[in-house]
Amino acid sequence: MEKRNLTCIVCPMGCALTVELEEGKVLSVSGNTCPRGEKYAQEECTHPTRVLTSTIRVADGVLPVVPVKTAAPIPKELLFEAMAALRELTVPAPVAIGDVICPDLCGTGIALLATSSVEKKEPDA
Ligand code: SF4
């Protein structure tokens, strides 16, 4: 039997979780203060996911970049691929908060959204 120690990241309490696994299957979770911790431990040990937050370049904006995040968590193993894809992206200004930058990030079916706005730069007079 394998044991894994995790810190629950669902809320700021940060409970210390102990997970017992056998052949990739979760046998038990302890240390959680609420049921969300057990769900987190189950998912983290079998199918870990994360919300990706980053920035992408903006063309002709008053700021050079806009912050973005995925609309939902994506598989953790796709984070590097997704970050590489973001480095290739440039969106034209203006960008509004909530704009869909990419409807299907790396084939996950999950959208990438702008989390702030960037106005278009006025042309030099
Ligand atoms: S187990 Fe519950 S109380 Fe503890 S950190 Fe996770 S969500 Fe918060």
pLDDT band at 85 (very low <50, low <70, confident <90, very high): very high
Indicate which residue's Cα is closest to atom 8 of ligand 1: 11
Total domains in the fold of the chain = 2
Q: Name all residues whose Cβ lies below 6 A of ligand 1.
A: 8, 10-11, 13-15, 32-34, 36-37
Q: Are residues 33 and 66 in the same domain?
A: no
Q: What is the pLDDT of residue 124?
A: 76
Q: Are residues 81 and 100 in the same domain?
A: yes
Ligand 1: centre distance to CA 63 (Å): 38
pLDDT (0 to 100) of residue 123: 82
Q: How confident is the model at residue 125 (pLDDT cuts 50, 70, 90)?
A: low
From residue 10, give the alpha-carbon distance in Å to each of 32, 81, 102.
11, 24, 26
Q: What is the CATH number of the domain that holds 20?
A: 2.20.25
Chain segment 44-67, per-residue pLDDT in tens:
999 999 999 999 999 999 999 999
Range of the domain at 81: 53-114
58 in the same domain as 42 = no
CATH of the domain at 98: 3.10.530.10
For residues 42 and 59, state if they share a domain.
no
DSSP 124: P
Same domain membership, residue 105 and residue 59: yes
Average model confidence (pLDDT) across the chain:
95
Which residues on neighbouring strands pair with residue 53, listed in sequence order?
69
Given 3-state DSSP classes, what are the helix, strand and coil percentages for the chain, each rounded to the nearest 5?
20, 40, 40
Q: Mean per-residue pLDDT for 14-28? A: 95
Same domain for 11 and 38, yes or no, is yes
Note the pLDDT tens digit of each residue in 23-45.
Answer: 989 999 999 999 999 999 999 99
Distance CA(123)–CA(105), nearest Å, equals 32
pLDDT of residue 24: 87
For residue 85, tell me if it sits in a domain.
Answer: yes
- Whether 106 shows a pLDDT value over 70: the answer reads yes
